[in-house]
Amino acid sequence: MKNKRITMACLAVFIVLSTSCQKSFLEQTNPNAINLDVNFKAPNDVLLAVNGIYQSLRSSNCIGEDSGLWTDERSDDTGRNDSQSNAGEPFQFNNFSLLPSNTYLKSHWVALYQTITRANIVLSNIDKVTFTDANLKLQYTAEAKFLRALMYFHLVRKWGDVPLVTKQLAYVDLPDFTFREKQATVYAQIVADLSDVINNSPLPNLQTGANIGHASKAAANTLLGQVYLTMATTQDQTNRQTNLTNAKTYLMNAYNMRTFTTLSTIPYTDVFDVAKKSTCAELIFQIVYKQGDVTYSSDIAANNQATGENINSQKVVTGVGGNVTHDLINEYETNDPRMAFSVKYANASSVKDWFITKFRDTSPAAGTLGYGGNDWNLMRYADVILMLAEVNLYLGDEATATQYLDMVRTRAGMPTYATSMTNTSYSSKFPTLKLAILHERRVELAFEHHRWFDLLRFFTTDELVTYFKSKSQADFGAAQLSNFSTKDRYYPIPFDEYKLDPIKMYQNPGYN
């Protein structure tokens, strides 16, 4: 079978890992295929395969700590002014000039499907293994489904209709999956997976100790709540109220699983403190990195640091570090301590700009090579609380929405919403509660890869175009705001995928 008949290039990993077919005269088989029947014999084999799913999250091409290109750099928070490095491909994201041939975009698509591949292999083979502990089997199944749902949630928000694969594919199966499934079907699969995790698994409410970094009931409820909230705001509005009600239910489930009393009992800086990453009660789900290890350490502190600075890491670096738009700098309120912790102005003559300082590890264990111990926080309770503010607003309960908003503002040492609205500087920038919640999410969760998804949820496509074009070009450096249009609601389907079947793998509008 020639390569041009393989559905998606990203599914090539299925070929290598897929089960060999029963032999017959007419059947086509891949001589490089590995027979997984010999690899799934005992529960420990399943454990190793599940660990492999988690391991794939770490990649910067997937959703690890260095994956901001697909999210923050697509938003109005970060970007880059260098339009020449790496053939200018990274610059295309925040310049809104993305081409279907962009190799970074393709790498992200492939990485997300590779994680799905690993999850499908576990789910397709787990029944072959005899478990003396039935709960252990349920646990591994739940973890695989949770991670598969997480990947599809990224895919459907970024690309819209996407291929939907829920089983391990054999070589001859591949042409059957060269088509994009409608968003509603993808969302239904995500909901089904997460509902099963919540209702039928023995996962703990929150993970502790050596299990930190694994799925939990709180993480599954958080994700499902966010899924329903996204469906309510971006999908068919026929079921908006039902989806909002479901979003509130699952977000409340997650909130009620917290082990702290009020958010104010947890200092904001503790969330990012390497020494407290295994004890901070605000954290729900994170990708674990190992301090001092050349392979498994975190590099985000060093990578964000600018020339001449040492606030993030002992590593001496060159370059501008994690660049921050002046648009974000201008949005911070006066005396917001989160600004002082999250960003810093670099005075080096080659920089003279703001860089990210939110993620730090200057400890001797990280050393001068920058082998940091930062975990990448995918879910935390301030996010849940602000989503509860959002969903209550949409349900018409502004009083409750304001209470949740104030939980986050109070923890940060900022005035309550009511008090802030008496300040003309605040009320003129954020004249509605909706815009106040969006603002709070921006400054609270800055650089944690939420901003682009927030913008897609808070605005319709047309509204988002208006929002971007109302901003000052001077606050965005070399990236041209004038490029932003309705096409930028979704990424283009990578060209290699589209060309396999231009009818069934149809391109998103504006990219043909």
Helix/strand/coil for 326: helix
> By mean pLDDT, which of 168-172, 295-299, 355-359 is the weakest?
168-172
Residue 356, Ramachandran bin (φ over 0: left; ψ between -120 and 50: alpha; else beta): beta
Q: Which two tokens stand for residue 235?
A: 């999908």
pLDDT at 170: 73
Q: Which two tokens stand for residue 403?
A: 């209470």
Instruction: State pLDDT tens for residues 312-343.
Output: 999 999 999 999 999 999 999 999 999 999 99
For residue 38, what pLDDT band results from cuts at 50, 70 and 90? Answer: low
Give the separation between CA 179 and CA 181, rounded to whole angstroms: 6
pLDDT at 82: 86
Give the separation between CA 373 and CA 395, rounded to whole angstroms: 41
Alpha carbon distances (Å) from 242 to 185, 251, 437: 17, 14, 22
> By mean pLDDT, which of 33-42, 46-55, 328-337 is the weakest?
33-42
pLDDT at 39: 86
For 381, residues 6+ apart whose C-beta sits below 8 A from its C-beta are: 255, 258, 260, 263, 281, 282, 284
For 237, residues 6+ apart whose C-beta sits below 8 A from its C-beta are: none
For residue 78, what pLDDT band results from cuts at 50, 70 and 90? Answer: very high
Percentage of the residues of the chain whose pLDDT score is greater than 90: 89
Mean pLDDT score, 62-73: 97
Give the separation between CA 224 and CA 353, rounded to whole angstroms: 38
- Least Cα distance to 314 among 323, 295, 301 occurs for 301
pLDDT at 126: 97
Question: Contact at 8 Å (CB) between 478 and 95?
Answer: yes
Give the separation between CA 115 and CA 121, rounded to whole angstroms: 10
Residue 103 has pLDDT above 80, yes or no: yes
Kindly state the helix (H) or strand (E) to which residue 390 belongs, with its residue range.
helix 381-394
Q: Kindly report the average pLDDT of the chain as a whole number.
A: 92
pTM metric for this prediction: 0.93
Give the separation between CA 51 and CA 55, rounded to whole angstroms: 6
Q: Which amino acid, residue 141?
A: T
Residue 20 has pLDDT above 70, yes or no: no
DSSP string for 222-264: HHHHHHHHHHHHHS-GGGHHHHHHHHHHHHHHHHHT-SSS-GG
For residue 84, what pLDDT band results from cuts at 50, 70 and 90? Answer: confident
Helix/strand/coil for 10: helix
pLDDT at 83: 86
CA atoms 176, 179, 180, 182: torsion sign? negative
Residue 119 has pLDDT above 70, yes or no: yes
> By mean pLDDT, which of 2-11, 240-249, 448-457, 473-482 is the weakest?
2-11
pLDDT at 23: 39
Question: Contact at 8 Å (CB) between 401 and 437?
Answer: yes
DSSP string for 261-305: S-GGGS-GGGGG-GGGTTT-TTEEEEE---TT-TTT-B-HHHHHP
Residue 355: phi and psi, rounded to 5, are -140, 165
For residue 177, what pLDDT band results from cuts at 50, 70 and 90? Answer: confident
Mean pLDDT score, 288-295: 96
For residue 178, what pLDDT band results from cuts at 50, 70 and 90? Answer: confident
Give the separation between CA 45 and CA 48, rounded to whole angstroms: 5
DSSP state of 83: S
Give the separation between CA 272 and CA 487, rounded to whole angstroms: 36
For residue 37, what pLDDT band results from cuts at 50, 70 and 90? Answer: low
Which domains, ranges and CATH numbers included, belong to the chain? 1-200+480-512 (1.25.40.390), 204-288+375-458 (1.25.40.390), 295-371 (no CATH)
Give the separation between CA 177 and CA 169, rounded to whole angstroms: 9
Residue bearing tokens 């175009």: 465
Mean pLDDT score, 384-399: 98
For 413, residues 6+ apart whose C-beta sits below 8 A from its C-beta are: 337
